[in-house]
Amino acid sequence: MNQEILKANLSDIPELSQMMKDFYAIDFYPFDEKLTVENFQKFINEGKYGDCFKILLEGEIAGYIILVKYFSFEFGGEIFFLDELFVKPEFQGKSLGKKALEFVKNYSVENNFKVVLLEIENHNDKAKRLYEHYGFQNHKRSLMILKN
């Protein structure tokens, strides 16, 4: 089985946007297609915010990863936030999530990021077990949000 993880490019945006729409629908998150396309264009073009990767299986886009860069004094410097990891339902069960997490771990080490953080839906036990298998741990803090 030929699996690859490659940086996404602008021509991938329509498919990335559709996958994000499908991902958000799982938990009834709002989705604005126009804003999403604009955000992908900015994120991919500028590169300063982080990296977007496409997960390929036999040359077909099967999912995506979004890693956002930021700086944390608490964690000792630059860190990644695993903002999104999605594998299309028809490609699940083919170890692509595992491959994606191995990739994230290796990529963060190779690029000298101190920590990888992520958030997870409380009801998603399957994903939580997968993350724990790759060394992610619950943090003693909870996220809070202030929307503008």
- pTM of the full predicted structure? 0.93
Q: At what angle do helices 33-46 and 13-26 cross, to 10 degrees?
A: 120
Q: Is the pLDDT of residue 9 over 80?
A: yes
**Tens digit of pLDDT for each residue in 88-147?**
999 999 999 999 999 999 999 999 999 999 998 888 898 899 899 889 998 888 888 889
**Tens digit of pLDDT for each residue in 16-61?**
999 999 999 999 999 999 999 999 999 999 999 999 999 999 999 9
Provide the pLDDT for residue 71.
95
Instruction: Give dist(CA 51, CA 115) in Å, integer.
Output: 15
End-to-end CA distance of the chain: 45
Provide the pLDDT for residue 18.
98
Provide the pLDDT for residue 93.
92
